[in-house]
Amino acid sequence: MRFLVLVKSDKEWSGEVPSAEMGAFNARLEKDGVLLAAEGLQPSSKGARIKYENGRAAVTDGPFTETKELVAGFWIVQARSKDELIERFSHCPFDNQHLEVRQLFEAEDFPGTRVGTLSPALDRAG
């Protein structure tokens, strides 16, 4: 299974180089073969919000000053269980920030897709 780990913070990440501890934390995820994606987000002043109402889209440019919880970055990580994911991220070198962990849908979560007898070779045969 895969998890999206959102970094929530009331201050934005200004693009400073991650600490050596964070580098080591990410390196371990990579060495263990579970790191699928990791990105830091630019300040919300460079972003926008789009609100859909009455059939039209209303755009508000950043920064999102009224928000307490800004998303500063994210990981997508493979894990065998939520316990494993939480165990890994409980050693994440963060302070005064919090993470939100959400599980992603997988192919087998959709109806029908749990069945399947195709071998990869046949799949390729087209």
CB 111 within 8 A of CB 105: no
Candidates 3-11, 43-51, 53-61, 76-84; binding stretch for another protein (CB under 8 A): 76-84
Interface with another protein includes 119 (CB under 8 A)?
yes
- Tell me how far apart the alpha carbons of residues 97 and 17 are, in angstroms, rounded to a whole number: 17
Pick one of 37, 44, 45, 50: the residue that binds another protein (CB under 8 A).
Answer: 37
- Tell me how far apart the alpha carbons of residues 93 and 97 are, in angstroms, rounded to a whole number: 10
Interface with another protein includes 106 (CB under 8 A)?
yes
Indicate the residue among 53 and 83 with the shorter CB distance to another protein: 83
CB of 63 to another protein, least distance (A): 28
Beta bridge partners of 32: none
Pick one of 50, 67, 88, 97: the residue that binds another protein (CB under 8 A).
Answer: 88
Burial of 91 per CB tally in 10 Å (0-12, 13-18, 19+) = exposed
What SS3 class is residue 48? strand
Binding stretches for another protein (CB under 8 A): 1, 30-34, 36-37, 76, 78, 80-81, 83-84, 86-88, 90-91, 106-108, 110-126
